[in-house]
Amino acid sequence: MATFSYAIKTAIILFPLVALVFTIPYIIYQYHKYGSINSYRSLVVYSFLLYLMVAYFLVILPLPSIEKVSQMTTPSYNLIPFQFVSEILSLSSFSVSDFATYFPTLKNPVVYESVFNIFLTVPFGVYLHYYFEFDFKKTVFYTFCLTLFFELTQLSGLYFIYPRGYRVFDVDDLLLNTFGGIIGYLLAFIPLKFLPNRQELDEESLEKGKEVGIGKRLVTFGIDLICYGIFLFGCIYFCHKHITFWKEASIIIFILWSLFYFVALPVILKGKTLGMKFFHLEFSSVKKVTWYRIFSYYFWGVIFYILLPVGVCFLGYFLYRQNIISETFWEYYFIIVIALTLLEYLLAFFKRIFKMPLLIEKISHLKIISVMSKEEKLAE
């Protein structure tokens, strides 16, 4: 029991770190496929991730020392099916006709190890049937693959970190784990009866995906910055290595690439950047979507939300360096500029929450809308 609790505690402790690494690709995938992040779906997916971690740690923990494993002489594998049955019969006084032998037999370590191997994959079968909508054959196949992965992990000595396997590769474990997945498949009728199924979650997510919220805008802009930055820094690095006047060339490339990526490319892609195309978004206007409207959208966005606060801050710093204002005045000035900048961002945030147009949208007569087709996505 102490081994079980140790494995579970380890999984819970490491789960936030694994979840953090998993979250970014998960968000990108959800916004791309559904246009939104469903909270209940996230609960199911992250609970499945935690379950896999717990199951994995139950298989490999506790880790022995390499010296102890190198001295082991016990068999590292068992290829005889149902050997656990003969072990139960030989190590206990079990008799089918004698009910008095039932309870003592349950205390046999072989029995509760076998029961543990069954229970280990019951949740896996439930998840596969309920959320992933796998049929019986797929559930059996993937459960077998999972337990085979566990057994090979043991046989290889944790991927050859150890000189030999410190636990036994057992064909009975393959059978019992697969049987556990089958039980989980059958038990999945419980969540299917009382909880929203996968199709309902998809429909709800796609309906919510018609809205263009703050999270989707930030992720889209982040993808655009990555695409924009990879080419830009690649060109600058090339200029630095092969051109003597690389600084001047880099400035020219920066201007031209910025205009192309954020202005010309959306015109070519009919109102979309690469990030917007990936997340099924586009610019929309009561008037025609033209290059100068797109340019105006980004130009005033950079002015209002980046250059203006930064420029005002640098102006105060310049005045301080020139001894035009005192150090005390500069400190208060800096705090006020930061506070006003945060207030500006907070105002934009609440405008998004209440679906009010920003100033840059009023100036450019542009807004970003979702063009995700619910029927097409459900048909995929």
Beta-sheet pairing, 367-370 with 77-78: unpaired
Q: 38-54, pLDDT tens digit by residue?
A: 999 999 999 999 999 99
Q: Which stretches of 209-326 are DSSP H helices?
A: 214-242, 246-259, 265-268, 274-278, 291-302, 308-321
Domain ranges of the chain: 2-206, 288-364
pLDDT for position 82: 78
- Start-to-end Cα distance in the chain: 45
- Quick check: 105 and 96 in contact, CB under 8 A? no
Residue 103 has a pLDDT of: 61
Task: Flag whether the pTM goes above 0.75.
Answer: yes
Residue 102 has a pLDDT of 56
* Residue whose C-alpha is closest to residue 296's, from 266, 272, 263: 263
Dihedral sign for Cα atoms in the order 155, 160, 164, 165? negative
pLDDT of res. 363: 93
CB-based contact 271:282 (threshold 8 Å)? yes
> What pLDDT does residue 378 have?
47
174, 185, 184, 180: which is closest to 144 by C-alpha?
174
Residue 104's pLDDT is: 62
Give every residue of the chain whose pLDDT is below 50, as ranges: 375, 378-379
